[in-house]
Amino acid sequence: NAGVTQTPKFQVLKTGQSMTLQCAQDMNHEYMSWYRQDPGMGLRLIHYSVGAGITDQGEVPNGYNVSRSTTEDFPLRLLSAAPSQTSVYFCASRESRAGELFFGEGSRLTVL
């Protein structure tokens, strides 16, 4: 199993551009989530999903969209990038609410 796979690993955007961070897992996990990590602030939840077709907002959802059309994929869309969205983004999944959380390797995004 590859686990949780994120692409791209690095991306530089200009303010106002849009992009999608891809996340895929091959463990048949129901729960998937996106976090951002900023220096000194730990990990903050952006959006999460408890199954295909079901998504909800986390702590910091503004400026981001998600969808969950399949169990495997959970893309994160930035509609109009802002410098405040410069961060490292992590996708994670778990089998169920009581399951261990597994992370992807992260995607470092810089918005100029």
- Amino acid identity of residue 59, one-letter, is E
- Amino acid identity of residue 70, one-letter, is T
Of residues 3 and 17, the one with the C-beta less far from another protein: 3
Per CB under 8 A, residues contacting another protein are 31, 33, 35, 40-45, 48, 50, 56, 58-59, 88, 90, 92, 97-103, 105-106
Considering the complex, what minimum distance in angstroms separates the CB of residue 37 from another protein?
8
Helix (H, G, I), strand (E, B) or coil at 98: coil
Q: Which residues are CB-contacts of 41 (< 8 A; sequence separation ≥ 6)?
A: none
What is the C-alpha to C-alpha distance for residues 103 and 92, in angstroms, rounded to an integer? 4
Considering the complex, what minimum distance in angstroms separates the CB of residue 32 from another protein?
11
Considering the complex, what minimum distance in angstroms separates the CB of residue 92 from another protein?
8
